[in-house]
Structure 1
Amino acid sequence: MITVNGVNKSFGSAHVLTDVTFEIRPGLMTGFVGGNGAGKTTTMRILLGVLRPDAGVIEVDGSPITADYRAGIGYMPEERGLYPKMTVLDQLVYLGRLHSMTGADAKARTMALLERLGLGDRAGSRLEELSLGNQQRAQIAAALVHDPVALVLDEPFSGLDPHAVETTVQVLRETADTGVPVLFSSHQLDVVERLCDELVILADGRVRAAGSRSELLAAHARPEWELDAAVDTGWVREAPGVEVLSFDGGRVHFLADSEAAAHAVLADAVARGTVHRFGPVTRTLHEIFTEVTR
């Protein structure tokens, strides 16, 4: 398990990270989300040893992270870092060789990854000849080619079409299922919500929320309910213990002081006519993100 513990970082007078603390658990996908300038990339660079923290420590299984462990991490930067004039196959084999793989093993691993990511027929193409989406997939393969001990991916889904996103998600999930801790940042909250096991929400250099999706939903739950009936529901605005959030004819979205108050609304609606749907409203990651970063 990788632990980011009490990390602080400043650049001159700009304080970028303040007491950033969270865990990246083995075998789990941890989504790292935050607006532009929140400190995600700086945190990742400190984890990788590219930057030094002003305070705090990165630990692996309770001990300070070592250079050898960092060397085994698969990293994908937001700014693509592959060589545009080299073929995809040659540079991925080269990267594998840098991690002490034999040429044969590196080539076999490269071709397996490219096939899995839908790039098998472009192995002999130079990177500059690929579309931006295919360059992104090649960059993901570069992070995986040496069979990494952990994965740190900065915006891995940027520029990918929906089909490529699905393929990449499957590859990353398969990697996590082998016990590898995976940290990835993304602005695509719908993908994060569907893919990740745990979430870390960063704003202004501080962790505003962290935990599993169910933990975050429980911690930021609101007693919201929705009623869809065949009759006008304007009367709900007068119901005791209820605050209407939105109203449109037979549909009403409301807060209730208690479950009993919500079910009293249901009973009244049934007495007035047909009820098509009634139940609690499940909050989305986007709503929680907006709330904690406001």
Structure 2
Amino acid sequence: MNLKTYLAETKSLIEDFLKMYFRQTGEPEVLFDAMRYSLFAGGKRIRPILCLTAYETCGGVGTDILPQACALELIHTYSLIHDDLPAMDNDDLRRGKPTNHKVYGDAMAILAGDGLLTESFRMFTTVAGDSGITKNILPAIKELASSAGLYGMVAGQALDIISEGKTPDKTTLEFIHKNKTAALLKTSVRLGGILYGAQKPEMSALSDYGEAIGLAFQVVDDILDVTGTTEELGKPQGSDDSKDKMTYPAMYGIERSKEIARELITRGLESAEFFKGKAMWLKEIANYLLKRTN
């Protein structure tokens, strides 16, 4: 099996679970429609894929933690809906489609994001396979809440907004990127280990891997915002520059940013070596994240 097939098959498991979970609607129906609109807008599902892959690397069966892995996608989607709002990044296009608030209005977009975030924690408590993971749910939820909230993604998003138009500096730039994007990606990897019950050496390797590829992911995003096209990105090209965002290209230039991304992926690959032959997909995904075009 090659990486393309592995990603497609794993993504299919995730899509099937999400569609099954949201097959029923509720009232008001427009709220559920707004949630589904963004959730099924064509994302890569890289966060749940990383979670499943890390769990399998530790020795587990990925389908046993589908609810926990898919909960990550609900949180990611909520963050995108809120990011796109006029009070935040004010974007009209996401994944090649009108952003949520452009279709459902600002208020319903906010509530759709709220609904996805809250439902993610209910989904996270669902047991799909091996009931042995139940004992690991509490520390896993604590990890997830930390990385998605005040000590992770939300903090990064706040500083991202505050720093618009300011001269880039290394400390602020790293804080934004490590928290706004890398924190949830790192946690996606760590959750696979936590849910499996991995020991300290395994968790250390997963943490180092997740931190490195998570930061590299955002550096590549910064680069693509400059070098990609609107068609490739599914959102307006150059949006970071138009908002005067603090980015790696703004701080270091394109070529040095590419070097930094490569260095981070190399660090991630070195960390994955801890798992030897079991790390194949972790390594393949790391290289894929470096070479992606959207």
Larger of the two Rg values belongs to structure: 1
Structure with higher strand content: 1
Larger helix proportion of the pair: 2
Please classify the TM superposition score into its range, dividing by the shorter chain length. Answer: under 0.3
The TM-score normalised by the length of structure 1 is 0.27
